[in-house]
Amino acid sequence: MTETASDNTTSVKSMDDIMALCKRRGFIYQASEIYGGVNGFWDYGPLGAQLKKNLRDAWWTDVVMKGCNGKLGPDGKPVSIVPLDSSIIQNPKVWEASGHVGGFNDPMVDCRETKSRYRADHILCMGVKGDDSGQIYAFIENDDKSFDGALKKLSKYKKADIAKDGVDICSFTDLGPDEIAITVGPDAKEVGTLTEPRAFNLMFKTVLGATGNAEDNGAYLRPETAQGIFINFKNVVDTTRVSVPFGIAQTGKAFRNEVTPRNFTFRSREFEQMEIEFFCHPDESKAWYTFWRDWRMAWWQELGLEGENLILREHDNDELAHYAKEGAGTADIEYMFPFTAPGYGELEGIADRTNFDLKQHAEHSKTKLDYFDNTRGELAKNGQPKGERYLPHVIEPSAGLDRGVLALLCEAYTPDENRPSGVFMKFHPRIAPIKAAVFPLVKKDGMPEIAEPLYNELRNRFGHLGTIEYDVKQSIGKRYARMDEAGCPFCFTIDSTTLEDQTVTVRHRDTLDQERIAIDKVGDFLAEKLGF
Ligand code: ATP
């Protein structure tokens, strides 16, 4: 993840404006807002809930139901994927086996003065250029405000004017222990307030049973959906007709007690994942890794995250996760959010997890999880393969649904001073929460009587894809403006001409073009535009 310092000069879109629109139009609200909120949690309003569902459905349909939209795998065969819906709470031993209990720790630093806690890898430090005493460093969190604050504190401490380009910046985690002589917390007034980095477990703990106690009945909310898949690998193999190579996919909530939730929904404590664990023969893992990496990138591009805002970044060896051996591929699909610009933030990770997880669960649960492949092995006398027993390797494309929604919101946000709304949301029609709107120009002259049946017809035909809006209030200009902010791609208006020739006006969101089509062709028109 490269959540870097925000630099609004390079980013045309303002995150504050996007957040304001999300609130104003009912995409996303702060959770528990009337009680002052709760840090790291968000509620999706009517438009946001539908947008999120559309993205989840698109993933589900394209990945699971259509097996990568019919693209053949590297073996030349259709990709086989089955769905799963596992529990959020599992036996705590699952998380011991997966390494989360022992290893799901971010090193943290505490500020003794402000009592704030920061992730060590989010803290940068500065030293005065040419000052080789190695004694003075100011620690900043990675945003411009705290950078300026830290610079001021450092200048005061050194009793000199120190300009931005007069300091060396490096990551806190790159410093040797001897180099940390004096520290300045991002929000502290005094110097020397930060502690050494300490481990902090990110899993939410809970207690099972009304009379349970934390020691004997403790359990965890899952920090990822992946482990629910690994522990059901044997069940799926035993109860369905899948054979390796195949994948298991699931979407669902995951919980991480993030130390510094921020950047809107980007770093939340409760979020939703869309994960695939794809099981293959060890010799084929490289080919499947490349397949998944490239197909996932193309999928996001097809939904409208195109151009330079989306990149595919292969990890360096020193970034590899605990399960990835050297040489096993790991890549991130990253989006340039307004708050990361000119850097990028992770949207989805694609990792070759080797056989790490199945091996861990086999050992900890003392259950055989290896797979008997009767298509492999030496040939027997009858000319048939004798079969081979192995622990499959796993390729994991793991995407964040909330981060996906956020990227789509940021991408769609299009300022346009020529419109009354000043902005419109240019969602791909497949993702748009409102698919179409039906407006009688005025609430009289028989127009509502024509508009209502059309609304009902469209709702019956397209309601499974998203909302069909009906609105008679306010001027038509105001209604169009509302639809622009909601990202509705097509508005159908019933006006006086409709009464004469049974045509309606179609207003196209992106071009503002208006055309007339026959009222009995509206359904087919919309079906074609939505790709159905
Ligand atoms: P980061 O480095 O940003 O903490 P990660 O590498 O730990 O992310 P993974 O464990 O690979 O993330 O999780 C898979 C996906 O889940 C991520 O690509 C991201 O989209 C999403 N995700 C992870 N943590 C969060 C979070 N706190 N809030 C929202 N989405 C998240």
Residue 141 · residue 157 · CB < 8 Å:
no
362 in a structural domain: yes
Distance from Cα 106 to the centre of ligand 1, integer Å: 13
Residue span of the structural domain in which 129 resides:
105-200
> Do 251 and 382 share a domain, yes or no?
yes
> Do 359 and 496 share a domain, yes or no?
no
Residue 130 backbone class (left: φ over 0; alpha: ψ -120 to 50; beta: rest):
left
Distance from Cα 13 to the centre of ligand 1, integer Å: 23
347 lines ligand 1 (CB under 6 A): yes
Domain end (from 200, 219, 244): 200
C-alpha count within 13 angstroms, C-beta hemisphere, residue 346: 17
527 lines ligand 1 (CB under 6 A): no
> Do 31 and 83 share a domain, yes or no?
yes
Distance from Cα 60 to the centre of ligand 1, integer Å: 19
268 lines ligand 1 (CB under 6 A): yes
398 lines ligand 1 (CB under 6 A): yes
321 lines ligand 1 (CB under 6 A): no
What pLDDT does 121 receive?
78
> Do 407 and 456 share a domain, yes or no?
no
Ligand 1 atom closest to residue 1's alpha carbon, by position in its atom list:
2
> Do 271 and 406 share a domain, yes or no?
yes
Distance from Cα 400 to the centre of ligand 1, integer Å: 6
400 lines ligand 1 (CB under 6 A): yes
Instruction: Give phi and psi for 27, each to the nearest 5.
Output: -85, -55
502 in a structural domain: yes
Q: Which protein residue's CA is at the shortest distance from atom 2 of ligand 1? A: 1
Q: Which protein residue's CA is at the shortest distance from atom 21 of ligand 1? A: 400
256 lines ligand 1 (CB under 6 A): yes
DSSP structure class, residue 62: I
9 in a structural domain: no
Q: Which protein residue's CA is at the shortest distance from atom 24 of ligand 1? A: 267
Residue 378 · residue 43 · CB < 8 Å:
no
Q: Which protein residue's CA is at the shortest distance from atom 25 of ligand 1? A: 267
Ligand 1 atom closest to residue 348's alpha carbon, by position in its atom list:
18
pTM of the model: 0.86
Instruction: Give phi and psi for 395, each to the nearest 5.
Output: -105, 130
CATH of the domain at 506: 3.40.50.800
What pLDDT does 270 receive?
98
Per-residue pLDDT of the chain (532 residues; tens, 9 = 90+): 334 333 333 346 999 999 999 999 999 999 999 999 999 999 999 999 999 999 999 999 999 999 999 999 999 999 999 999 999 999 999 999 998 887 777 788 888 777 777 888 777 777 777 776 655 666 666 667 777 877 887 787 778 888 888 887 777 777 666 665 566 777 777 777 787 777 778 899 999 998 888 888 899 999 999 999 999 999 999 999 999 999 999 999 999 998 888 899 999 999 999 999 999 999 999 999 999 999 999 999 999 998 999 999 998 766 666 555 556 789 999 999 999 888 899 999 999 999 999 999 999 999 999 999 999 999 999 999 999 999 999 999 999 999 999 999 999 999 999 999 999 999 999 999 999 999 999 999 999 999 999 999 999 999 999 999 999 999 999 999 999 999 999 999 999 999 999 999 999 999 999 999 999 999 999 999 998 7
384 in a structural domain: yes
Ligand 1 atom closest to residue 400's alpha carbon, by position in its atom list:
20
> Do 132 and 87 share a domain, yes or no?
no
Domain end (from 150, 179, 200): 200
97 in a structural domain: no
| Best CA proximity match to 297, nearest among 314, 310, 279 | 310
What pLDDT does 322 receive?
59
Quote the number of domains for the chain: 3
> Do 244 and 329 share a domain, yes or no?
yes
Q: How far is Cα 308 from Cα 327, in angstroms, rounded to an integer?
A: 27
348 lines ligand 1 (CB under 6 A): yes
| Best CA proximity match to 146, nearest among 174, 116, 102 | 116
Choose which residue among 28, 262, 273 to substitute to test ligand 1 binding: the one with the highest number of ligand atoms within 8 A of its C-beta: 273
Ligand 1 atom closest to residue 269's alpha carbon, by position in its atom list:
27
Q: How far is Cα 376 from Cα 368, in angstroms, rounded to an integer?
A: 19
| Best CA proximity match to 434, nearest among 458, 482, 402, 468 | 468
> Do 230 and 353 share a domain, yes or no?
yes
What Cα–Cα distance (Å) separates residue 497 from each residue in 81, 458, 519? 51, 21, 11
Domain end (from 379, 411, 443): 411
119 lines ligand 1 (CB under 6 A): no
Choose which residue among 403, 405, 406, 409 to substitute to test ligand 1 binding: the one with the highest number of ligand atoms within 8 A of its C-beta: 403
Q: How many helices (H) and strands (E) does the chain have?
A: 15, 26
6 in a structural domain: no
334 lines ligand 1 (CB under 6 A): no
> Do 315 and 402 share a domain, yes or no?
yes
Distance from Cα 341 to the centre of ligand 1, integer Å: 18
CATH of the domain at 371: 3.30.930.10
Distance from Cα 331 to the centre of ligand 1, integer Å: 13
2 in a structural domain: no
5 in a structural domain: no
> Do 327 and 178 share a domain, yes or no?
no
Q: Which protein residue's CA is at the shortest distance from atom 23 of ligand 1? A: 400
> Do 113 and 86 share a domain, yes or no?
no
> Do 329 and 250 share a domain, yes or no?
yes
Ligand 1 atom closest to residue 258's alpha carbon, by position in its atom list:
27
What pLDDT does 182 receive?
66
